Amino acid sequence: MRNLGLVLLLSVLVLTACGGPASAQPSSAGSQRTIEDVGSDTIVNLALAWAEAYQKIRPDISISVSGGGSGTGLAALINGTTDIANASRKIKAEEIADAQQNGVEPYEIEIARDAIGVIVHLDNPVQQLTLQQISDIYSGKIINWQELGGEDRPIVLLSRESNSGTHVYFLEEVVRLGQQANKTLFSQDTLLLPSSEGIIAEVRQNPNAIGYDGLGYITPEVKTLAIAPQAGGEYVKPSIDTVNNGQYPIARPLFMYTPGEPQDEVKIYLDWVLGPEGQKIVGDLGFVPLH
């Protein structure tokens, strides 16, 4: 009988080690659902803040956030390697076509709004510009601050790199003044920087520089210029109020794209992002809430 008991005990131990009934209940780590969220560097800090806050509410959901630019996020969406693509510009027709060829139907969700501020060094005496003047600066027609009422200094042009949705938006809506037939390009002297923080850092230390950045990234270490849509128009600085009332001329929506209409945990998460808690974080980080 003692031998029979020993055999039964050993059998139970073997079943447990091999994943038998004693180990059938999954661990909390094994049951965690991961949502992949990739794309816009403008949105990345906001997406990280959302992910951190949401995981406190739903510890069973892990949200993996990475940047790389709107183009990177939309490429991941097209290739089927992300649940959410962040973009600071609208998806292009050719990107939709590429996605559909891969069996992906991009679904667009506006998640916040943003203003793009035009920034200079704190010591720069220039206070305001029109959209036409900014276009002339970035296309290389105006090359000295003296032409704008500043000091006799060369203008150093800073831009986000071409994979950035902010770069694309600024090119189309500011450099080209929103005119579809306008093919003006950035001056070849424009320095392309990989991050919003990089533009702030360069403007902070270079008295000749001009740059542009999302409202949520602009710090008191640089001067934000007032912008008028045309000569003789009202000069307005970017803020939540001037974006919502339509006064500030360089404002845009921010998007998340999903492969098809969001379902299950992704839908629950995005509903939270669009709700009061998620939109409060939008305002806390200096962006413009939807409501």
| Cβ atoms of 30 and 60 closer than 8 Å | no
User: Going from the N-terminus, what domains does the chain have, and what CATH number goes with each?
Assistant: 33-113+252-284 (3.40.190.10), 114-251 (3.40.190.10)
Partners of residue 71 on adjacent β-strands: none
Percent of the chain with pLDDT over 90: 88
- At residue 157 the predicted structure's pLDDT band, cuts being 50, 70 and 90, is very high
For residue 38, the cross-strand partners are 66, 85
Cα–Cα distance between 196 and 137 in angstroms, integer?
20
Residues 256/107, Cβ–Cβ less than 8 Å: no
Q: How far is CA 162 from CA 38, 71, 186, 279, in A?
A: 17, 9, 10, 29
Share of residues in the chain with pLDDT > 70 (%)? 89
How far, in Å, CA of 79 to CA of 73, rounded? 10
Q: What is the pLDDT of residues 181-234, one digit of tens each?
A: 999 999 999 999 999 999 999 999 999 999 999 999 999 999 999 999 999 999
| Residues 137 and 280: beta-carbon distance below 8 Å | no
More confident site: 15 or 237: 237
